[in-house]
């Protein structure tokens, strides 16, 4: 019986795109317990203007992962699985001296808090799904001036517990709300809409469903091709 279940689980897992989703819904998935966020694969915290490079060997392809037809390449570039090439960090995650970021009551250790990492991508840079994601909503109010909100709200479909991934300031979108998107699929292009002083992308991660100001350091989803693959 155990063998049969294992065989069934393995078959479902290899279904293109829907595999992890069906496993989650069916209860067949054997997710390991949450693990601590791995250490950032450089010796220093990122600083504004710093080019981050990673060694892909630090984040090997998850055991048993079968690329879907749309996810042939797991790593786009040396910096992250979400875009090609490497760009400067224009503002790191965490405490900042920029009043525009506002105060976070969960971080009283500093006056202002930046909820994501800003990368200085030129406007029009293609952005790809670094994970299998569900498109929750596009441009919900509250992420820019009225009528010019600019936030792509994604839900990670590979992880347990779930995480929400937010990309701000994009110029356009190639996906629609309520769409399941496989790895490596084009999401749209970077821009400078919303509250922005220049072309860049803001990459933010929160526990699924959590509101603004409950962000986590997003680097584990920027750089890891998959940490909790069943």
Nearer to Zn ion, 56 or 144 (CB): 144
Q: Could you tell me the CA-to-CA distances from 107 to 96, 98, 215 in Å, in that order?
A: 11, 15, 11
Nearer to Zn ion, 116 or 191 (CB): 116
Question: Residue 61 Cβ, how far from Zn ion at the closest point, in Å?
Answer: 30
In the sheet that holds 151-156, the strands lie side by side as 89-91, 116-119, 201-207, 163-168, 151-156, 133-138, 180-181
Nearer to Zn ion, 139 or 158 (CB): 139
- The CA distance from 162 to 157, in Å, is 7
Among 71, 79, 93, 118, binds Zn ion (CB under 5 A): 118
Question: Residue 118 Cβ, how far from Zn ion at the closest point, in Å?
Answer: 4
Scanning 18-26, 62-70, 82-90, 113-121 for contacts with Zn ion by CB under 5 A, the matching segment is 113-121
DSSP-assigned letter for residue 10? H
Residue 192 found at the interface with Zn ion (CB under 5 A): no
Residues 6 or more apart whose CB falls under 8 angstroms from that of 29 comprise 9, 20, 23, 160, 230
Nearer to Zn ion, 59 or 168 (CB): 168
Q: Which two tokens stand for residue 216?
A: 């986590």
Total residues in contact with Zn ion, by rule CB under 5 A = 3
Chain residues 123-182 in contact with Zn ion, contact rule CB under 5 A: none
Residue 202 found at the interface with Zn ion (CB under 5 A): yes
């Amino acid at each position: 019986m155990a063998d049969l279940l294992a065989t069934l689980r393995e078959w479902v897992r290899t279904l293109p795109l829907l595999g992890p989703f069906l496993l989650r819904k069916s209860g067949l998935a054997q997710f390991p317990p949450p693990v601590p966020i791995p250490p950032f694969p450089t010796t220093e915290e990122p600083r504004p203007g710093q080019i981050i490079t990673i060694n892909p060997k630090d984040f090997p392809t998850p055991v048993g992962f079968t690329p879907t037809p749309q996810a042939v390449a797991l790593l786009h570039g040396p910096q992250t699985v979400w875009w090609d090439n490497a760009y400067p960090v224009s503002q790191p995650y965490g405490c900042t001296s920029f009043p525009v970021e506002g105060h976070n009551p969960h971080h009283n250790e500093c006056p202002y808090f930046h909820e994501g990492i800003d990368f200085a991508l030129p406007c029009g840079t293609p952005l790809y799904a670094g994970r299998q994601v569900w498109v929750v909503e596009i441009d919900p109010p509250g992420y820019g001036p009225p009528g010019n909100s600019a936030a792509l709200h994604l839900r990670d479909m590979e992880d347990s517990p779930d995480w929400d991934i937010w990309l701000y300031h994009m110029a356009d979108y190639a996906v629609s709300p309520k769409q399941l998107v496989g790895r490596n699929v084009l999401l749209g292009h970077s821009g400078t809409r919303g509250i922005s002083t220049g072309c860049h992308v803001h990459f933010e991660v929160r526990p699924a469903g959590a509101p603004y100001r409950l962000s986590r350091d997003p680097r584990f989803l920027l750089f890891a091709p998959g940490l909790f693959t069943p």
